[in-house]
Amino acid sequence: MHDDRTLVEARLKRVLDERIRPAVYPESVPLDVAVWNAPDEPVPVAEGLAATPEPIAVGARWGAPWGTSWFRVTGTVPEAWAGRTVEALLDLGFDENMPGFQCEGLVHRPDGTPVKGLNPRNQWVRIGAPVEGGEQVQLHIEAASNPVILDYHPFLPTRLGDKETAGREPQYRLERMDLAVFDETVWQLVNDLEVLGELMAELPVESARRWDILRAVERALDAVDLQDVNSTAEEARSQLREVLAAPAVPSAHRISAVGHAHIDSAWLWPLRETVRKVARTTSNMTALLEDEPDFVFAMSQAQQWAWVRDHRPEVWARVKKAVADGRFVPAGGMWVESDTNMPGSEAMARQFVHGKRFFLDEFGIENDEAWLPDTFGFAAGLPQIIKAAGSKWLLTQKISWSQTNRFPHHTFRWEGIDGTRIFTHFPPVDTYNCSMKGAEIAHAANNFKDKGVARHSLAPTGWGDGGGGTTREMVAKAARLRDLEGSAIVVWETPGEFFRKAEAEYPDAPVWVGELYLELHRATLTSQARTKQGNRRSEHLLREAELWAATAAVRTGFPYPYEELDRLWKTVLLHQFHDILPGSSIAWVHREARRTYDRVAGELGAVIDAAQRALAGEGSTALVFNSAPHSRDGVPAGAAAAPRVDGEVRLAPREGGGHVLDNGLLRVEIDERGLVVSAYDLDADRETIAPGRAANLLQLHPDFPNMWDAWDVDEFYRNTVSDLVDVDEVGPAEDGASVRIVRSFGASRVTQVLSLSPGERRLSIDTEVDWHETEKFLKLAFPLDVHAERYASETQFGHFHRPTHTNTSWESAKFEACNHRFVHLEEPGWGVALVNDSTYGHDVTRTVRAGDSGTTTTVRVSLLRAPRFPDPETDQGTHRFRHALVPGAAIGDAVREGWRINLPERRVTGAREVAPLVTVDQDAVVVTAVKLADDGNGDVVVRFHESRGGRTRATLTAGFTIGDVTVTDLLERPLADAASPDREGDRIRLRLRPFELVTLRLGRA
């Protein structure tokens, strides 16, 4: 037989595009349209319905950026359509290639009842099936004219990302407002031909199955009368039934399709718009669930569920019913799909506490899975947090975006820093917006790396980001793929059903140890410095507020602010979403975030002040409150007392120019350029700075990545660097005991103050940058005389080691990495720590010196970037950073100094010292939370972990009489398999594994 394959395939495409798809709606009549434009922010539904609209014609432009327009569409069903299925076709000016990234709408009935969302791939509203002739139609559309930020030429700077700069130019053109007859037979034919055509394209040319499908498609096309598609569609379908009925082979890959609509809680739109995106999508999905009995939809992010509950109660009622039916599934058990690299220990824990508790309280549902398809890599401390929250599975997707190395598994056990292993799945479909195309299904089966030992994978299916979720076309395609020769088997299932099957079939899944590093989006560790500083400060203020409020409640009867702390925690957790904290959202989002963090700081400051004053009482004694988990200047952890500081700091001229700081423990030489040329550990008789090098060196790189400006820094940025050694001023600061340095470069200015503290082996570096560069990357470098093949970065509840060399492509790809409060390098017996109060990104490199063959290990902290997309003014203005170099530091010193710089002392005058509510006699055990139990019964909850990576014994002593002592999970529920604590009165003896995380609930006798 002659090969006519390409001829038939081309015929299929044209006939589908030009004849069959248009015949889905064979008859239509226009609707009358009127519009009312809300004057500013969105208005309540009742106000939008009550407004008086003005007529508008199809073809007219509408919608200022970020505006809301209420369209009223009215019409009459023609008498000739009686008994047929009729739908309204409502095209606001959609671009079908941009679901989720442009205008959207929510359709209401005249009484305000929501019907469904309108999106580029979902423009229809069912009027009736069948309808009555002469039926009157009236619908109201709340339309959001969200501007297109990420356009066909992506990453171009735009002022559209903030309502304050976006202007008023209409963004869209009204395209179609019609009533139309819906021909379901033709629609089914479209789905038949799409499924078979897409499957055919994925099969080998030489396979018999491909040719069977080709001939059947050809017969179907022959059966179609191109001038009368509607009357011949059923005959065309009959030609396809045999090939559609052929069952899949027994070895076919099995895909659990999960209805999905990945909605970023903020990104190229503000938080307030996400509230409406979620309402539109949940309206769509509850309607689809009613129409499609096999369909299952899962939605993560408890915050988004809470928005529906609080803002759209009529939609919430439909959601609750669908949840009760088991088909609308709460997923993930987190407050938002957060970044996992930068949130601190307690914040990461509270993502699960507040997320899981919401689903338990609202639905009685316990989430077993963490659901994080789009997060930019995963910190090594996460597995034990997932387990401590009572969960056991993790789903992610973003690792497929890595630029350099392909991850070797799709299903595996992920081992964290303490040895906890979590069963993890990484869907081989390589998208969290699967649309059931044949290419996607074939890719999932072919790409799956665990063939031969496993055959199950998951496909999150639906348009995200306000694109409307799963469509009826996706459901129709999945029905045809349920058992189809040549294809993977597709079945709608919940995440839990998938994970149970996948784990059962693959009990010996391979193990991946350590962080899941994304080889992309590395610059998210630095972009939008104020957002990151707001997060870090808020995390530590929450710690302080809980600690002092709990202490005051136990000691003085101070009213513990349960509701206020709950609300503020949720606010901070929301802003850890993976496009807010990473700095990859539009200007509007970060402008609002700065204001929110200021408000959070004010409220938490008031709680802290009130609790401390209640504890101190009225008096004139100067007290220092120490919120850190280690003693400071003689003040115990979690206590208040008068500090004891011994020693002095001397500032003297340096021979050859510059200055010398000396406190008897550390002698620091600062040359005439304001660079640290020596940091000498006097006790160890050891130099810190590499020979011939200078630390506190600001370095400026060009920073213009190939794409994803706010997200990415590409490795070639290192090819060009400017050392900022020119100086405007170097001299004593106002206190006479520290050195002030001023530099200018480009349009920017840096002021630094370098100081020592009495009795401390710590060089403090306070940096203020008035930053006005664009597309530049500012680093602060410390070349250290340390031979280290690896270094430690703090992560949640411990630290994680990375190599300093680049032996493999995996190591080389980690040229920018995350730390929390410290990085630490050491040779046996001596180390150096670099601690910070608000930076995350850093790099560590090593070279061997030509002169003495010694090793120089350089640590550089990332201070600022200046990308122009999606916020063209990213980080312009003044920033303040605090860092400290700690020579002679063991890992425990790094832990202590990291806490110290983030929890500065608070001074209060009062009548009495304050004893700690709990104490631990071993500094290796770090208490991360002291609080009252969330259920309000007055129990004290203490969370702690081993911080140095070794086994330890310690005693925890309560500063109050305790009753029952219970080991709990993060949600403060008893752990069934936990051993009873070894206690003697108010003392509890502890034995901890490396990095072990423990939560104790202490009853008050």
Average pLDDT over residues 269-280: 98
For residue 919, give both structure tokens.
């104490």
Averaged pLDDT, 736-740: 95
Q: Are 394 and 370 in contact (CB under 8 A)?
A: yes
- What's the average model confidence in pLDDT over 222-237? 98
What is the band of 645 on the pLDDT scale with cuts at 50, 70, 90? confident
Catalytic residues: 374
* Selection from 767, 810, 762, 814 nearest residue 793 by Cα: 814
pTM summary value = 0.97
CA-only gyration radius of the chain, Å: 31
Query: What is the per-residue burial (b if ≥16 Cβ within 10 Å, else e) of 311-327?
Result: ebeebbebbbebbeeeb
Helices assigned H by DSSP within 495-561: 495-505, 529-556
Dihedral sign, Cα of residue 383, residue 387, residue 389, residue 392: positive
Q: Which of 427, 99, 501, 477 is nearest to 294 (CA)?
A: 477
Q: Are strands 790-795 and 776-784 parallel, antiparallel or unpaired?
A: unpaired
- Taking only the tens place, the pLDDT of each residue in 865-903 is 999 999 999 999 999 999 999 999 999 999 999 999 999
Cβ contacts of 300 within 8 Å, gap of 6 or more: 330, 331, 332, 334, 337, 371
pLDDT tens per residue across span 468-502: 999 999 999 999 999 999 999 999 999 999 999 99
Per-residue model confidence as pLDDT tens digits over 810-838: 999 999 999 999 999 999 999 999 999 99
Categorize the per-residue pLDDT at 1 as very low, low, confident or very high, splitting at 50, 70 and 90: low
Burial of 980 (0-12, 13-18, 19+ CB in 10 A): exposed
Kindly report, residue by residue over 927-973, the tens digit of the pLDDT.
999 999 999 999 999 999 999 999 999 999 999 999 999 999 999 99
CA distance 167 to 149: 14
Give CA 404 to chain center in angstroms.
Answer: 22
Share of the chain above pLDDT 90, in %: 99
pLDDT band at 647 (very low <50, low <70, confident <90, very high): confident
Quote the pLDDT of residue 646: 81
Tens digit of pLDDT for each residue in 911-936? 999 999 999 999 999 999 999 999 99
Mean pLDDT value across the chain = 97
Tokens standing for 976? 């069934």
Question: pLDDT for 170-226, tens place per residue?
Answer: 999 999 999 999 999 999 999 999 999 999 999 999 999 999 999 999 999 999 999
In whole angstroms, what is the distance from residue 610 CA to residue 624 CA?
A: 15
Q: What is the pLDDT, as a whole number, of residue 24?
A: 98
pLDDT in tens, 565-580: 999 999 999 999 999 9
> What pLDDT is stored for residue 522 in this prediction?
98
